[in-house]
Amino acid sequence: MIIVDGKKLAQDILNNLKPFFRKHKTTIAIISVGNNAAISSFIKQKQRAADFLTIKFIHFNFNKNISNELLKIKIKEISEKKSINGIILQLPLPKKFNIQELINIIPKEKDVDVLNEESFGSFVLGKNKILPPSVEVVEEF
């Protein structure tokens, strides 16, 4: 049995990516709803990685009482910002939201997690330039 040092592997990946992001100024938006300790922890990890890679990190956090319709409008507004290169809708969301509908608002070219139907369809057909992060992790192993 081989034991993989996940922290070392993650740091190696970040070190390999750093030169790319030094040359290509990038801004990523994280959209979250409510205040959940576990989700906040994931967002902080993403913030640290972005800081290391010199990626500008913008966190849009909405109150848990926001409606599905208003959240759709906000995601569309964020998606239309030319200065933002990538968007992550932090999951899970409260049960009242139509998650797939919200994810599908994110344009394919800004869909970091490859979760909207167009992005995922392109991935399944082998036409997407990037892999979903979970697939990329498996490939890295």
Looking at residue 10, what is its pLDDT? 86
Annotation: CATH topology of 18-113: Rossmann fold (3.40.50)
pLDDT, tens only, 112-123: 988 886 776 565
Residues in the chain, total:
141
Q: Which of 47, 135, 24, 115 is nearest to 75 (CA)?
A: 115
Pull the structure tokens for residue 107. 């344009």
Domain ranges of the chain: 18-113
What is the 8-class DSSP label of residue 3? P
Cα–Cα distances in Å, from 25 out to 38, 47, 71, 113, 118? 29, 16, 27, 19, 26
Looking at residue 5, what is its pLDDT? 84
- Segment 48-55 shows an average pLDDT of 97
Lowest mean pLDDT among 5-9, 39-43, 56-60, 105-109: 5-9
Do residues 55 and 82 make contact, with C-beta atoms less than 8 angstroms apart?
A: no
pTM, entire model: 0.86
Do residues 123 and 92 make contact, with C-beta atoms less than 8 angstroms apart?
A: no
Query: What is the maximum span of the chain, computed from C-alpha positions, in angstroms?
Result: 50
Q: Which residues contact 111 (CB under 8 A, 6 or more apart)?
A: 86, 87, 103, 118, 119
